[in-house]
Amino acid sequence: MRLTDLLRPHLDGVATVVDATPGRLDLEPYLHLPDGVALRRGGQEDAVGEGELVLVCHGPDPELHGPESAVLSVLQRMRPGGRGVIVFGHRGPDLPYHRLLDALVAHHCQVLRAAPLDYVHLHAGAVFTRTDELLPPEDWFGRPVPAEGFATALRIADEYVLADLVSRSLRARVLDLERAAEESEATRGDGHGDGLAERLAAAEREKAQLSAALRGARDRVEVLQARVTMLEGSTSLRVGRALVSAARSPKRGATRLPRELYGLWRGRTHPGPAAPATPRGTAPAAAPPAAPEPPAAADDRLYLTYRAFTSTPRDRLVLAGVLTDATAADFAADAVVNRALPHDGVEVVRRTDPDALLVQLSACTGEGPWAHTGTGLAPDLDRGLAELLTEARRLGRACVLWRDAPVSSAPGLSRLAWDAVLDTDTGVRLTSLDPRADGRERLREVFRTDSTRVRLAELARRVGAPDPLAARRICVLAAPRDRAGISRLVGDVLSQRHRPAEVVVPDPAGLGELTAAGVTVRTGTPLAPWVADWTDLSEERPDTLLLDLMCAQEYSGADAVGSTPAGDDYTYVPELRPLLVRRSLHASGTPPELWARRGHRLFACCGKEPA
């Protein structure tokens, strides 16, 4: 909720709003007061009476929010009919309301409404009034409950007890879950800690033995290659070949046999090309000895021609993993995926330098090269997976188990040491959905909570890799000219269910509320991957506009999403009115009517809810 939404229902009869916050916090850009209501700063010593509403702040940072004594001072100066709003810098679970409760009661101040606020440094707000009689509370919709006197007191008392019961049960449940998680982690850590060093040492010893055996085999191969080369150049082998050739073709081979043997004899006594004839009576010049050919060096490299890698700086998640075919294809849309196979997994991890080694449990239980890993039926695969984890840790990379199947199907995987475990499915790609059959709301739900990109974002957060959700960042271009335009722009931006990451305007004055809500406000050129032009602030924009446009883009992979005069929805079109454009296309300066001719994909999506 915005501060203006909390404030406006309680401005009836109010002519002056007094900003009594003593800290560095400036609340004026948050208010958007209607005409007829004036804002006055200061007033730390004046009484607050009927027709006035005072703003105070309470938070953990005294320099930003002001000291707690300032709030207590305002409560002392409240007079009958005066109203006030306390904004809290504390998050909901940490809200120290008990430190203000006695002062509110002592000065006959009744809290009428409390709600969370969606700002970076302001997380809640409460509206109160100074009264000499008990006022009826509000229901869930903000309407006063028709009750007076004793009935109001009973309602408040009953709701307090019941709400405390629910909150206590929820807190107890959270504590139980935290305790169970700690115990399971400790048990899992104890089980790993005892034999982990021994298993690692055994793996290192086995690795050294395998390396020594491999080096010995390569040495033997080199000796055998030298022997084969020597035998192929020997006279006996050449004579044998000539005899075999003559035996296979007696009619032609027998007549050539003596000449070939004579040539072999001369080649044995005079190797190399025939020397030029010398005059009789002169000694022939000694032929220089032929330089021996250097032995061919053995090439022990593995060429991973089918693998992909990225060079720093990176803007995409890079994975090396034991994955199913379907998961690898889904992840490849948002990350660089290198599938590790049993024969080259160590080289894949070493050469591609991934952000994480990802092992999918279902890839070890179904069909594929890693089938039966962790079940005890394929010890060579278990050993190969342990080598993968050892190599990844040697390179300082995280090892993550994606547990998308029952643990009992591959119990051996749970005995390995993992840096993180994800107990969820791999998500749904929007391209696999049918917008007409599944509906617009289903697309929104998958986009926000169940998409493959959301699952990869959780993985990236665990391993400290680039966030795939950064590809959904939107920049809004606007140019508000007056106070009404600023208020309209702030309202449209903060109401969006998929909030833009930045707003680019000619002048950022008066847009402090956007900054407080976590939206970057600046001048210049867009930095987000997508651009939405909101220069016309008179246009009606539903709160699902950017969400639906981004859903359509991720579903289609288009370069621009917009509307058409014919009202086309979820279809590729040759021309449209752009509502969401790729930043590179927007910066190119190409007119929209030429986009399709130059190979850009255009996708139509209704910007408003269907009737």
128: buried, middle or exposed (CB in 10 Å: 19+, 13-18, 0-12)?
buried
State mean pLDDT over 1-9: 90
Predicted pLDDT of residue 160:
78
- Going from N- to C-terminal start, the domains of the chain cover 3-132, 235-266, 317-433, 468-604
Q: Which residues pair with 589 in a beta bridge?
A: none
Q: What is the dihedral of CA 123, 161, 71, 80, to 10 degrees?
A: 120
The terminus-to-terminus CA distance of the chain in angstroms comes to: 27
Q: What is the mean pLDDT of the chain?
A: 84
- Decide: 586 and 526 in contact? Cβ < 8 Å: yes
Indicate the fold that domain 317-433 takes in CATH.
Answer: Rossmann fold (3.40.50)
Residue 447 and residue 427: Cα distance in Å, rounded? 10
pLDDT tier at 496, thresholds 50, 70, 90: very high
CA angle 315, 312, 357 (to 5 degrees): 75
- Decide: 611 and 569 in contact? Cβ < 8 Å: no
State mean pLDDT over 463-473: 94
pTM higher than 0.75? no
State mean pLDDT over 254-269: 53
Residue 220 and residue 238: Cα distance in Å, rounded? 25
Residues whose CB is less than 8 angstroms from the CB of residue 417 and which lie 6 or more positions away in sequence, other chains included: 192, 196, 389, 399
What tens digit of pLDDT does each residue of 183-238 get?
A: 766 665 554 455 566 667 777 777 777 777 788 788 778 778 777 777 777 767 77
Which CATH number applies to 468-604: 3.40.50.150, 3.40.50.720, 1.20.1730.10, 3.90.550.10? 3.90.550.10
Predicted pLDDT of residue 88:
93
- Asked, colleague to colleague, whether 3-132 and 468-604 share their fold, the answer is no
552 φ, ψ to 5°?
-65, -40
Residue 489 and residue 510: Cα distance in Å, rounded? 11
Residue 521 and residue 11: Cα distance in Å, rounded? 29
Question: pLDDT exceeding 70 applies to what percent of the chain?
Answer: 82
Residue 603 and residue 611: Cα distance in Å, rounded? 20
Among the residue ranges 35-44, 59-68, 138-147, 453-462, the one predicted with the least confidence is 138-147
Residue 264 and residue 267: Cα distance in Å, rounded? 5
pLDDT tier at 135, thresholds 50, 70, 90: confident
State mean pLDDT over 412-436: 92
Homologous superfamily of 3-132: Vaccinia Virus protein VP39 (3.40.50.150)
- DSSP reduced 3-state for 329: helix
Strand ranges, E, within 379-487: 398-402, 420-422, 474-477
Q: Which residues pair with 398 in a beta bridge?
A: 356
**Residue where the block lists tokens 């004899």:** 265
Residue with the larger pLDDT of the pair 195 and 406: 406
- DSSP reduced 3-state for 550: helix
pLDDT tier at 272, thresholds 50, 70, 90: very low
Question: pLDDT exceeding 90 applies to what percent of the chain?
Answer: 54
pLDDT tier at 275, thresholds 50, 70, 90: very low
State mean pLDDT over 268-289: 49
For 285, the enclosing helix (H) or strand (E) is: none
